[in-house]
Amino acid sequence: MHVTTYLIDKSELINIWNCKDKSIIESLSESIEDCNLPYLEMIFNGNVSERDAYQLKLLYEELAEHYGEIYEDYIFGDEAFYCVECLMDDEDSFFIPLPGEDDFPGIKSVALSDIDNLVQNYKAHLSICDFPESEKEDMIKEIQKLANACKENKKDVIFFSQD
């Protein structure tokens, strides 16, 4: 499983939902793949559909790349999959109202105000994983490091997972 983590100010994404400002579309069009421009129009018009879930998720990651910064890029083996999966345990979550019907890619958007809950959830899932204690401690340090980066930079976080 490959997980990419972005630090982002969620207001940047919220502000483009249903904004209908053509100048913003034009400024974003240079950093968005051409095939995703029609989906960008949908977001700007506040009109998305379930049938477009896959493309909208790909666009959501492009928007995260544009407005945010990559925090980490991880590749997890099967043994760590369960612990990472706990980050993605609910339905996909977004900072704007997108459909979450399609399974790929998995997306988890976490507001800064919820970052401590994410850490606690991660620790709880990790506690029942069959890893040596030293590995668990390292994994807890990593998620805490992410939480600290969010707090220090006053940023929200988005996880994108792919098999």
* The total number of structural domains that make up the chain: 1
Q: Single out the residue of 120, 2, 98 nearest to residue 53, CA to CA.
A: 98
Q: What is the mean pLDDT of the chain?
A: 84
Pairing assessment for the beta strands 69-75 and 156-162 based on DSSP bridges: unpaired
AA letter at 68: G
pLDDT top residue among 109 and 78 = 109
Total residues found in the chain within this entry: 163
Least confident stretch, 14-18, 25-29, 79-83, 111-115? 79-83
What pLDDT does residue 79 have?
A: 47
- Sign of the CA dihedral with 112 first, then 117, 122, and 123 last: positive
Nearest Cα residue to 70 out of 13, 141, 149: 149
- Percent of the residues in the chain that have a pLDDT greater than 90, as a whole number: 38
pTM: 0.87
Domain that holds residue 151: 2-162
